Each structure stands twice: as structure tokens, then as C-alpha cells.
Structure 1
Amino acid sequence: MPLSAGTRDAVAGIAVLGVTFVAGVYIGKKYFMYRRKKSQKMFDGQDDPRRTYLLRLSLREHPSAKKLKQHLSRITPQDISSDAIQLLANLAKIIKSKKILDMGWSYGYNPLILALVLPSDGKVVANVRDTEDVSSAKEYWSEAGVDHKIDVKVQSEEQTLDDLLSTGQAGTFDLISINMAHQQNCRKCYEKCLRLLRIGGILAIDGVLCSGAVLRMSPKTESVQGMHQLNEAILRDARIFLSMLPLADGLMLCFKL
């Protein structure tokens, strides 16, 4: 039975409305997902004004630390994660730290920040792979009056860990900070760090995201695969409480029980 002109117009109108509705739902979902993904992204780079605002209203840098960071910005492209190390310094202060092991890649900035919160008889063991890494920082350590608190070890991180353990220093460190982004034996380093840490102490592991490489299914380099496996192992480790934070290149905090 042929449809009247009015009926055909009605059917066509309903069809247009249906298509419009479906298109609206589809576009709405896409827009919502875009907005949600966009809002979930914390910063769009180091120059993001939100990051600048956050740092401007949260950092309390010692004048010598500011000068050292400015100096480092002229000689190395590496970003100094001031917010991350300030958090560690605050934690070190809260747990009344007196003995800290720092094995980060900060060209002397991190040892300075950590030494500032220690008592006069406190000590930061700062591990570096080359004396050039901290040569320019020593001037600022002295200016801040903390050079006597910083003991520099020029060798691999694993060698420093072995030396400290062999000299009976297990369970004596209040806070240990280590960058494991390119460690070949990160699981062994983790275990040695836990042995050196006292009960109630804090192990801070930087680089747990490996610049996002841990998210890729394959291929993973040996060091990235090791870091991913360590992250999974830490999640299951009943010897610690943990928090993984989106600071620096991923900061894992382990609180030894």
C-alpha cells in the first residue's frame, strides 16, 4: 500500500531525527572521552602554566639551592625535580632522619636539599659515578653550610651498596633515594636497599616509569623489563607499605615495616 505524501514526510522526519540522535550520542561520547582524557593529563610539559603555578606556590628553596639549580640549567639539559626532592626532604624531617643515602642523578642538588634538613651531626652519603657530576655543586654545599654533612662516593650504585653492607651498616639508614631507570640489576639493588634501611625508614625509587617505556607491551629493553618486574614485585611485597606518585619520572615510596 503506497504511503501518502504526509506519511512519507513523517517517516523521513523520524529517520532524520533518529540519525541525528545517534550522531549526537556518538559525538557526545567522543567529546566526553576527549574531555576526560584531557582532564586526566596532569601537565603538557615542563612549561605548562599549571606546573609553573604549582612550583611557584609550593617550593621553599634555600638560596644556595636556587643558585645551584640555575647553574645546572646552563650546563645540563636534565630537569631537576625540585618538587620530588622537597617531598623526600619533608619526609626525612618528619621521621627525624640522621643518615641518608642518595643515589640519584641530580648533579649535587639532591644531597644539598637533603643535608639542609638533617641535624648538625647528620650525614648524606651521596653516590656519583663521576667526580664531575658534583664538582660544581661543592661550592654551593659550602655556601649553604652543609658540606661537612655530605660524604661523596665515586663508584657504581651497586658497589656502594655492597660496601655499606660489608661494613656493618645494615638497618642504619633512615632514608634511601635511588634512580633505577637504567639499572641492570634493579631487583638486587632493591633488596640491598631494604637491608640497609631501618624499620620505619623510607626507600624512594625514582624512574619507575622509564619515560613511559614500562607501558609498552613490547619490545622492552632489559632495564625497562627489569623495572616493570620490580614494580610488580613491590606491589606484592609484604615487607613494605607503598605509594607510586606521578612525580619526576615516576616516584615509588616504600615504607619499611
Structure 2
Amino acid sequence: MYRRKKSQKIFDGVDDPRRTYLLRLSLREHPSAKKLRQHLGNTSQDVSSDAAQLLANLAKLINSKKILEMGCSNGYNPLILALVLPSDGKLIAHVREAEDVSYARGLWKEAGVESKMEVKVKSEEQTLDDLLNAGESGTFDLIFLNLAGETNCRKYYEKCLRLLRTRGVLAIDGVLCNGAVLKKNALTEKVQSVQQMNEAILRDARVFLSILPLADGLMLCFKL
């Protein structure tokens, strides 16, 4: 009766030997990407390396030629995704004003993907609105949306879904809010926004979805 419950966590932190083992046997990291990850350390809000590789694998499987990265933090995930694009592919990377991709740019060039990149330093909403107003609806194969610090999640989801083509993939990072979505009271505006979006997507007949326990929760939405 008083026995301690067994932990439900998959891994006990990033240094868990089980996670190290899985990464050793599955992570195929480009040298430039590894260099960037090591340079960033734990200061970046980029998606984890295993999640980034999963997104790149999906992008390759659906023959992506056009990708939108919303909230690219410091440039790691855009690099991973750009590596699987064909030579005429394009990746639009939205960068928040406080983020610095100057070091990443050098490694994008080193990896031979700089010509595929287009960086937009604007607000999330302005970037999405500009693309929609330019007639880009239904043209993106894969969209990555980083919810770090966001309070307009459902609005961004709707706009991203409009930009995504049929059978495209919308990947949303941060849907667990470090576990705060489980709280019932005293929720911040950000957590409430994520909760409302999660519930809305569950009922959204326009997509199939899965939530994976990678990093802070990675939701994959497959547009029908």
C-alpha cells in the first residue's frame, strides 16, 4: 500500500544511459549539425536531435520540397531539415528578434544548404499573414511550429494548416509545457493556450494526429 510507485518517465533526464544507447544506435547526425548542437549546448530552445531527425525522415518520405520552420531558435532544426531537401528545395526559417543565427549561418554554408534557406525576422503572426497574403496557401509540405512562449497557439495552428498542403505534416513542439498542462488551477496564459489548442486538434476532423514523448511533447498532424 505504501510502496513507492514506479516512475512513468521514459528517461530520467538527457543523460539517462538508455537514451544515450538509443541515440548511439539511431542518430545519424551531419558533422555540421553536430558542431552546431555542441556549440549551442543547453541554451537553445531547438527541438531535440532525435525529434529533428524524425521530422527530417518524414520530410524525406513525403518528398518535401518546401518547408516552413516557425520559431527556429538558433538554427539546428532548419539545418537538419534542409539537408533532406532536393537541390531546388526551399526552407523558410522564421527567426524571433531575440534569436541569433549568425553562427548557424556559417554551418548552413559549410553543409551546403545555405542556398535553400530564406530567413524571416518578424513576429510569428506577421510571417504567417505575409505568406497567406502572398498566395502560399496549401503549398508547404512540412511545417514545424515551436510553441515556446506562445499565447496564440490555436490561431497559429489554423494559419499553419491553411499553408499546409493535403497529406502534408504539421509538427508542433512543446505541447506538454513541461508538464504544466496537467495542472487544473493557476494556469498561465501560455499553458491555457496550449491546452485549448491540444483539445481542439483532438476534435479536428481535418487531421490525423499523434503526440510523441520527445523533448517537451511533439505533436504530429497529418492533413487530410
TM-score interval w.r.t. the shorter chain? over 0.9
Choose from 63, 82, 86 the match for 1:96.
Answer: 63
Choose from 50, 71, 95 the match for 1:128.
Answer: 95
Residue 22 of structure 2 is matched in structure 1 by 54
Contact conserved, 1:131 with 1:154, CA < 8 A, in 2? Answer: no
Post-superposition, which runs of at least 4 consecutive aligned residues in structure 1 deviate over 6 A? none
Choose from 4, 7, 31 the match for 1:63.
Answer: 31
Choose from 156, 166, 184 the match for 1:217.
Answer: 184
Contact conserved, 1:69 with 1:109, CA < 8 A, in 2? Answer: yes
Q: Secondary structure at the match of 2:178?
A: helix
| Cα-to-partner distance string for 1:113-141 (whole Å, 9 max, x where unaligned) | 00000000000100001375211101100
Task: Name the CA shift for 1:85/1:79 in 2 (closer, same or farther; >3 Å).
Answer: closer
Deviation at 1:52, TM superposition (A): 1.1
Deviation at 1:51, TM superposition (A): 1.2
Contact conserved, 2:71 with 2:124, CA < 8 A, in 1? Answer: no
TM-score w.r.t. structure 1 length?
0.83
Contact conserved, 1:98 with 1:123, CA < 8 A, in 2? Answer: yes
Q: Secondary structure at the match of 1:136?
A: helix
Task: Name the CA shift for 1:244/1:42 in 2 (closer, same or farther; >3 Å).
Answer: same
Deviation at 1:181, TM superposition (A): 3.4
Higher helix share: 1
Contact conserved, 1:182 with 1:224, CA < 8 A, in 2? Answer: no
Of all paired residues, the percent bearing the same amino acid is: 73
Residue 200 of structure 2 is matched in structure 1 by 233
Structure 1 stretches lacking a partner, 5+ long: 1-25
Choose from 116, 126, 143 the match for 2:83.
Answer: 116
Structure 2 stretches lacking a partner, 5+ long: none
Residue 52 of structure 2 is matched in structure 1 by 85
Give the counterpart letter for 1:249 in structure 2: D
Give the counterpart letter for 1:194 in structure 2: L
TM-score w.r.t. structure 2 length?
0.95
**Aligned residues: CA RMSD:** 1.5
Deviation at 1:48, TM superposition (A): 1.0
Count of aligned pairs between the two proteins: 224
- How many angstroms apart in 2 are the aligned matches of 1:77 and 1:181? 11
